[in-house]
């Protein structure tokens, strides 16, 4: 599959999240121009998204839910772009999302369930504020999946992971049928613009999987680029940082080091970025649950992961834009 190759302009760079917030409301009701900028988001349950949306007063008075964050005076400024003047969740027409058959304009509810969010929410806002173009997020994530087996890339040898195959199939199917999925698509082309990866739990609990994670992740990036015919597509790795800076388990620490190491490969400099997530951890006392492997279901955590991935992606895209010849189709 070869993507449409058209140069487009970009919006002026917005340096801080507080400035980004001022732009959201004005852009939420507008459709973007062509070609469509396509971003793939993949991984396991934490890319699916486990951040609770609604306040549950029985769970720490609702702390850590998205609704609480929007209403709390200490955090409302950061999250106010997610709601309109009447307090309803904003639906962005300039960002489409497709998540295993669920589709529409970007809003809350595209997490593992429709009462949850994942990194896609704020990632989509950051990308749409960066581009004048229409943005499309193709999200392919399934809970409980390893890189060593389920997403195993072809060049790692052995049996190719069934979810690697499924992921590639979904991406190609969506892009081949954009008009079917999104009636407002004008048929004027698209560009595979970036790939986001948030995964790791099923490899960090298995020593053999852990040992080969760095090799598999590097192969995964290379194979994705080859199989989607997207040379040097910007790739962002979000750390599997559950438990934050309190983490001490050797396998967990080893896997996080492997994720960071891949982004430092010479061949990946300028086109792969690592996003540390330990700072985004919120303890169970201010979260909807104590389920550590799902970031305690804290919506702020998932929002911040999405924001971190979006900002890292923006920097990669900006570097490509400023470096002639870095990527052939820009």
Q: What pLDDT score does 174 carry?
A: 98
What's the pLDDT tens digit per position in 28-85? 545 789 999 999 999 999 999 999 999 999 999 999 999 999 999 999 999 999 999 9
Q: What pLDDT score does 325 carry?
A: 54
- What mean pLDDT is predicted for residues 7-24? 40
What is each CA distance from 266 to 184, 219, 256, 269, 290, in whole angstroms? 41, 14, 19, 5, 39
For residue 243, which of 210, 213, 200 has the smallest C-alpha distance? 200
Q: What pLDDT score does 324 carry?
A: 58
Measured between alpha carbons, how far apart are the two ends of the chain, in Å? 17
User: DSSP letter at 177?
Assistant: T
Residue 13: which pLDDT band, with cuts at 50, 70 and 90? Answer: very low
Q: Which of 28-37, 91-100, 184-193, 264-273 bottoms out in mean pLDDT, i.e. has the lowest?
A: 28-37
Looking at the DSSP bridge assignments, the partners of residue 219 are: none
267 Cβ contact partners less than 8 Å away, ≥ 6 residues apart: none
For residue 183, which of 120, 104, 99, 128 has the smallest C-alpha distance? 104
What's the pLDDT tens digit per position in 299-318? 999 999 999 999 999 999 99
Contact 117/137 with Cβ under 8 angstroms? Answer: no
- What mean pLDDT is predicted for residues 116-121? 98
**Tokens at 193, concatenated:** 């613009």
228 Cβ contact partners less than 8 Å away, ≥ 6 residues apart: 1, 168, 171, 172, 192
> Rounded to whole angstroms, how far apart are CA atoms 64 and 53?
9
> Rounded to whole angstroms, how far apart are CA atoms 310 and 24?
14
Question: Side-chain half-sphere of 115: how many Cα atoms within 13 Å?
Answer: 7
Q: Is the pLDDT of residue 7 over 60?
A: no
93 Cβ contact partners less than 8 Å away, ≥ 6 residues apart: 28, 29, 30, 31, 105, 184
What's the pLDDT tens digit per position in 192-248? 999 999 999 999 999 999 999 999 999 999 999 999 999 999 999 999 999 999 999
**Tokens at 178, concatenated:** 């954009």
More confident residue, 22 or 211: 211
Q: Is the pLDDT of residue 10 over 50?
A: no
Strands 51-52 and 116-117: antiparallel
Q: For residue 173, report the phi and psi dihedrals to the nearest 5 degrees.
A: -65, -45
What is each CA distance from 4 to 36, 65, 96, 133, 179, in whole angstroms? 9, 40, 18, 14, 15
Q: What pLDDT score does 327 carry?
A: 45
Q: Considering only the top CATH level, what class is 28-322?
A: alpha beta
Q: Is the pLDDT of residue 19 over 70?
A: no
- In the chain, domain spans: 28-322
* Rg of the chain in Å (alpha carbons): 19
User: DSSP letter at 148?
Assistant: T
> Rounded to whole angstroms, how far apart are CA atoms 40 and 6?
19
Q: Is the pLDDT of residue 11 over 50?
A: no
């Amino acid at each position: 599959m070869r993507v449409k190759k058209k140069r487009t302009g970009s919006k002026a760079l917005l340096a801080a999240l507080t400035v980004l917030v001022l732009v959201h409301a004005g852009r939420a009701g507008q459709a973007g121009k062509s070609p469509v900028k396509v971003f793939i988001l993949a991984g396991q349950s934490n890319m699916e998204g486990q951040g609770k949306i609604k306040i549950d007063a029985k769970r720490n008075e609702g702390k850590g839910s998205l609704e609480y964050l929007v209403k709390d005076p200490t955090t409302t400024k950061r999250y106010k772009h997610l709601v309109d003047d009447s307090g309803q969740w904003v639906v962005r027409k300039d960002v489409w999302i497709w998540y295993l058959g669920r589709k529409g304009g970007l809003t809350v509810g595209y997490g593992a369930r429709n009462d949850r969010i994942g990194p896609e929410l704020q990632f989509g806002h950051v990308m749409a504020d960066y581009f004048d173009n229409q943005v499309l997020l193709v999200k392919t994530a399934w809970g409980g999946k390893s890189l060593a087996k389920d997403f195993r890339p072809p060049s790692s040898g052995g049996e190719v992971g069934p979810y690697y195959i499924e992921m590639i199939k979904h991406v190609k199917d969506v892009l081949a049928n954009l008009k079917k999925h999104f009636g407002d698509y004008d048929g004027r082309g698209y560009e595979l613009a970036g790939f986001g990866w948030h995964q790791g739990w099923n490899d960090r609990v298995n020593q053999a999987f852990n040992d080969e994670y760095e090799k598999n992740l590097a192969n995964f990036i290379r194979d994705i680029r080859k199989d989607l015919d997207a040379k040097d597509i910007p790739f962002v790795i979000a750390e599997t940082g559950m438990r934050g800076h309190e983490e001490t388990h050797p396998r967990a620490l080893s896997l996080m080091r492997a994720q960071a190491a891949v982004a430092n490969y010479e061949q990946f400099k300028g086109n792969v970025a690592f996003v540390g997530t330990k700072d985004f951890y919120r303890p169970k006392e201010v979260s909807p649950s104590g389920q550590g492997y799902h970031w305690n279901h804290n919506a702020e955590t998932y929002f911040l992961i999405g924001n971190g991935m979006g900002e890292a992606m923006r920097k990669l895209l900006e570097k490509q834009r400023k470096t002639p010849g870095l990527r052939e189709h820009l």
